[in-house]
Amino acid sequence: MRLDLVRLVFLTLILSGCLRAEEAAPTGGLGESCRIESTCEAWLMCVGGICTEESGPDIDAIVEIDIASSADTGPETATYVDDWTALPDTADDALGNDIKDPEPWCGNSVVEGDEACDEGAVEPLGCAYGELLCLVCNSDCEMVGGMPSYCGDGLVDEAHGEQCDDGNNETESCPGMSDYPCTVCQAGCIEGAGEVDVSGILVPDNGIVVELVWTTPSDPDPLDEGPETGADLDLHFLHPAATGQDVDGDGVLDGWFDQPFDCFWFNTHPNWGVLDPLVDDDPAFLVDDDDGAGPEIVAFEDPNEELTYRVGVHYWSDHGYGTSYATVRVFLQGALVFEMAEVELADHDFWEVATIDAGTGLVTPITNEDGDAKIIPNYQHPYIVP
């Protein structure tokens, strides 16, 4: 009881601004020695015998004052004990309110409760490039299948260096028989030269060989097979004796589709020489392709050197795939002597390509009045129609 009374008196004296004593004593500055009887200014305290400046009466120490009295001694003396102890940790705030742990929620990057994962994602993540399958953390903190990106998925991923993606990770073979590769989507989804595949087709390396190939941009798979699965272009090889019809209406017989002097898909082995079957003096339509890309090939091992032959291309039917780009190559004695590439053709166009002088080996392109490729639009034979 005595101790509580002394504490109350001491704090009351502090709040009043100054503690005075009967004996005059030095004031004491900061860091100088002092004693309890000395005078002080506001909040200049004498603690442990050293003058310090405090921020107010709310000090960080618990000061106990024990005043010992005796009938035989002089005035009371004060003893100060620094007995500070840390308050115990609690889950309460300064007002005593209970502080509850926060409820778990998806998106705070901490795996809590029933969450399988938590990456703070708001959208499903993609797999690392090249992975076919992966698990990722979605916006509901569930492990789900990620979105893959790899060469062969049919989507061009430019961010990872893809220049093309045709749905596989292989280098395609070029259509046709030439030694000059076409441009394809190679393995690794890089555009480059395709592979030349001549397996299974025997083509003579002498005489005249004519090859037709084409590309159709809107055809997603030019190498697939089946009825009407691609644009159908036809190669024609014409004898000078051909008459045929005047389909283009210019007053001159065209010769195309003539029987027997036009060698094409409807007349694959015409008889242009002697009737002896042991004499190989006729052309042969070796390869036909009616579902996209080609090749189509005509070979003539023993042409008549006194004659000049003609080469033509007919866009028989686009089968709904639209514009195609045709390339014709002419080989003489196994050597490429003529190539006209990427000539734009629409459905039913007829392209008169070139003449071949069998005696001199001269191949001359056929052109219109402007010097461009001669193309007859909407060319449909009255008796041979799609």
Residue 285 confidence (pLDDT) = 93
In the listed set 54, 70, 86, which residue is the last one of a domain according to the structure? 86
Six-digit token pair at 202? 């025997």
Question: What range does the domain containing 328 cover?
Answer: 201-376
Amino acid 322: pLDDT: 95
State which of 60, 86, 112 marks the end of a domain.
86
Give domain status of residue 328, yes or no. Answer: yes
Residue 223: the pLDDT is: 76
Going 127 to 130 to 133 to 134, the CA torsion angle's sign is negative
**Token digits for 2?**
């005595």
Q: Quick one: 342 exposed, middle or buried, by C-beta within 10 A (0-12, 13-18, 19+)?
A: exposed
The dihedral sign for the CA sequence 120, 122, 124, 127? negative
Alpha-carbon separation of residue 125 from 40, 140, 145, 363 (angstroms): 69, 12, 9, 59
Separation of alpha carbons 361 and 217, rounded Å: 34
Q: Which residue has the higher pLDDT, 26 or 260?
A: 260
pLDDT at 124 over 90: no
Kindly state whether residue 105 falls inside one of the protein's structural domains. no
- The total domain count for the chain is 2
Q: Does residue 319 lie in a domain region? A: yes
Please give the average per-residue pLDDT across 183-206, as a whole number: 74
The predicted model scores a pTM of 0.54
Distance of CA 215 to the CA centre of its chain: 25
Q: Is residue 94 included in any domain, yes or no?
A: no
